[in-house]
């Protein structure tokens, strides 16, 4: 039997993390850069584009790992699939024991920026 939670509940948890990310003073430079350069993405919940879409995928995957749930977390950019499914990502999430906004790859930001993801 699969361990699932209501998708709306999962989406709400992800958006709480997005709001915390947006409020994090240590991330304001990155956010301002992405906004100025046009790759921030949208504050609309579940939007998968830009920096915020990347963080939605990251937070969703971390929530899934930490809570041992089986909900599907879509990864819309194929360039990031291997990262989010990697043992490293899973192990770091478990080692941290919390949802981190630092579990990213800087080269992914360059891909988002250059490809207008």
pLDDT digits (tens, 9 = 90+) for 65-103: 999 999 999 999 999 999 999 999 999 999 999 999 999
pLDDT digits (tens, 9 = 90+) for 22-75: 999 999 999 999 999 999 999 999 999 999 999 999 999 999 999 999 999 999
Q: How far is CA 117 from CA 10, 25, 85, in A?
A: 23, 24, 19
Q: What's the rounded Cα separation, in Å, for the pair 24 and 22? A: 6
Q: The tokens 């990155």 sit on which residue?
A: 30
pTM as predicted: 0.95
| Structure-block tokens of residue 17 | 């993390």
Those residues with Cβ within 8 angstroms of residue 38's Cβ, 6 or more apart along the chain or in another chain: 116
């Amino acid at each position: 039997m699969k361990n699932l939670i209501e998708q709306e509940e999962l989406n709400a948890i992800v958006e709480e993390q997005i709001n915390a990310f947006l409020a994090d003073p240590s991330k304001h430079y990155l956010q301002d850069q992405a906004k100025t350069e046009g790759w921030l993405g949208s504050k609309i919940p579940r939007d998968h584009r830009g920096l915020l879409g990347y963080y939605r995928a990251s937070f969703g995957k971390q929530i899934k790992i930490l809570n041992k749930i089986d909900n599907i977390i879509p990864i819309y950019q194929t360039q990031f699939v291997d990262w989010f499914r990697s043992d490293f990502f899973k192990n770091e999430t478990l080692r941290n024991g919390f949802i981190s906004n630092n579990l990213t790859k800087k080269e992914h930001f360059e891909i988002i920026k250059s490809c207008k993801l």
